[in-house]
Amino acid sequence: MAEHVVIIGSGPAGWTSAIYASRASLNPLVFEGAITEENRMRGTLPLGQLALTTEVENYPGFPAGDLEGYLDNSLDSTRRMMMAPHQKEGVSGPELMELMRQQAINFGTRVKTDDIVDVDLDSTPFKLTSLSGEVTEAHTVIIATGASANYLGLDSEERFKNRGVSACAVCDGALPRFRDKPMIVVGGGDSAVEEADYLSKFASQVHLIHRRDELRASKIMAQRAIDNEKITIEWNSVVTEVLGNDDEGVTGATLESTSDGSSRDMDASGFFVAIGHTPNTGFLNGKLDMNEKGYITWTQPHRTNTSIEGVFAAGDVADDYYRQAITAAGTGCQAALDAERYLASKGL
Ligand code: NAP
């Protein structure tokens, strides 16, 4: 029998739509993603991008405070044991995601730790094929697969992935190979500043490499980088080569000045890329309308409808503008309500 609602993705958009859909007795099924090395490398493991961050300071409802007891009481004990200790400062990204996941399960959401790798949206019920080969039929689908980190695209960068090149400081920054060594972060947005700030806890020095003479990051975040004595901003610079060898992995990078074209090498044991994101829509094979950057287009103002009736999109996969946890959660809620109304209109 076809599912009423299948939700693909497990970030704030996915879990919020699951909470709303389960409370509406739609018995949703979430494909939270598979735990594979490929997903680890692409940053698309279950729980999404927030699971790759540290403290979340701007999600309403979680001011600084001790969440320990709340986490202990809310989460399944096995998953609680597997989590890093609470840092006693507001909420961390992984904690927030685990809490949302648990909240969805509390209302009856079913979860499969699997990826959807192919979709047939030509006729209803839709058919979704998972990595494990299972085919699930669904009357409505909510796509909440988010976005993942971009890389520069250099061959040398590819060569040293996992050996000093990373797009996730929180996942890899504390590795012994980076301790008290200089590190490089590329980018000028909030993510780059956040990564640089985090890495400065371990590194002897963090070089933040930005191609312009002004950060894109918000004022408060930019000031944090400027005030951090361990962060040096290398303005008007691009990376043309990641340097390294088979024994040590990354040893540095070659920078080129965007103002005078001059070139110089810089020592570093880590090379972290934070230059924006690409939406995770590959599994759709272009079967939904997308904008020029590949983000799914919402086809009606203030609705999460896509170009196919019964398919809704929520969160960063359809939002290249706000890209916040709270906006993703908001559109996740909208998508569940849109799916509920669509099902009611079809008498399903
Ligand atoms: P972003 O704001 O799009 O910034 C990407 C940065 O990478 C820009 O500075 C861009 O340079 C640079 N860049 C892009 N392509 C490049 C290339 N090929 N080579 C060199 N540099 C390149 O992305 P983001 O920092 O990931 O942030 C995304 C969204 O998440 C934003 O809305 C941000 O506010 C939000 N966010 C918020 C927080 C927080 O509030 N704590 C933390 C992280 C992210 P240009 O500036 O020259 O374009």
- Whether 257 and 297 map to the same domain: the answer is no
Rounded to the nearest angstrom, the distance between the alpha carbon of 188 and the centre of ligand 1 is: 6
Of 114, 118, 155, 171, catalytic: 171
Q: List the residue whose alpha carbon is closest to atom 9 of ligand 1.
A: 188
- Whether 116 and 204 map to the same domain: the answer is no
Residues 6 or more apart in contact with residue 183 via CB below 8 angstroms: 173, 199, 202, 203, 205, 206, 207, 268, 269, 270, 271, 272
- Whether 132 and 184 map to the same domain: the answer is no
- Whether 111 and 95 map to the same domain: the answer is yes
- Whether 260 and 187 map to the same domain: the answer is yes
Query: Which of 23, 17, 4, 31 shows the shortest CA–CA distance to 106?
Result: 23
- Whether 215 and 130 map to the same domain: the answer is no
**Strand 182-186 vs strand 277-279: parallel, antiparallel, or unpaired?**
unpaired
Asked if the peptide bond before residue 301 counts as cis, ω within 30 degrees of 0, the response is no
Mean pLDDT of the chain: 94
Q: What is the pLDDT of residue 99?
A: 95
Q: Best of 49, 275, 295, 322 to mutate for ligand 1, by most ligand atoms within 8 A of CB?
A: 275
- Whether 313 and 332 map to the same domain: the answer is yes
State the total domains in the chain.
Answer: 2
264/266 Cα distance (integer angstroms): 7
Per-residue model confidence as pLDDT tens digits over 3-45: 999 999 999 999 999 999 999 999 999 999 999 988 987 889 9
Active site residue 168: yes
8/46 Cα distance (integer angstroms): 11
**Of 229, 250, 273, at which residue does a domain stop?**
273
Per-residue model confidence as pLDDT tens digits over 195-204: 999 999 999 9
The total of other beta-carbon atoms located within 10 Å of residue 35's CB is 12
- Whether 181 and 144 map to the same domain: the answer is no
For residue 336, report the phi and psi dihedrals to the nearest 5 degrees: -65, -40
Cα 168 to chain center, whole Å?
Answer: 10
- Whether 330 and 258 map to the same domain: the answer is no
| Structure-block tokens of residue 328 | 């993703």
Q: How many CA atoms within 13 Å lie on the side-chain side of 248?
A: 13
- Whether 10 and 144 map to the same domain: the answer is yes
Rounded to the nearest angstrom, the distance between the alpha carbon of 277 and the centre of ligand 1 is: 8
Distance of CA 256 to CAs 117, 129, 234, 235, 264, Å? 40, 45, 11, 11, 7
Query: 305: which DSSP letter?
Result: B
Q: What is the pLDDT of residue 261?
A: 96
**Of 246, 273, 300, at which residue does a domain stop?**
273
Pocket of ligand 1 (CB under 6 A): 58, 152, 186-192, 194, 211-212, 216, 218, 238, 274-277, 323
**Of 216, 244, 273, at which residue does a domain stop?**
273
Q: List the residue whose alpha carbon is closest to atom 33 of ligand 1.
A: 190
- Whether 222 and 324 map to the same domain: the answer is no
**Stretch 290-298: mean pLDDT:** 95
pTM here?
0.81
280/143 Cα distance (integer angstroms): 10
Residues of the domain holding 266: 155-273
pLDDT > 90: percent of the chain:
77
Query: For the domain that residue 234 is a member of, what is the CATH number?
Result: 3.50.50.60
Higher-pLDDT residue of 221, 170? 221
249/258 Cα distance (integer angstroms): 27
- Whether 202 and 223 map to the same domain: the answer is yes
Rounded to the nearest angstrom, the distance between the alpha carbon of 48 and the centre of ligand 1 is: 17
Task: List 8's β-bridge partners, or say none.
Answer: 31, 143
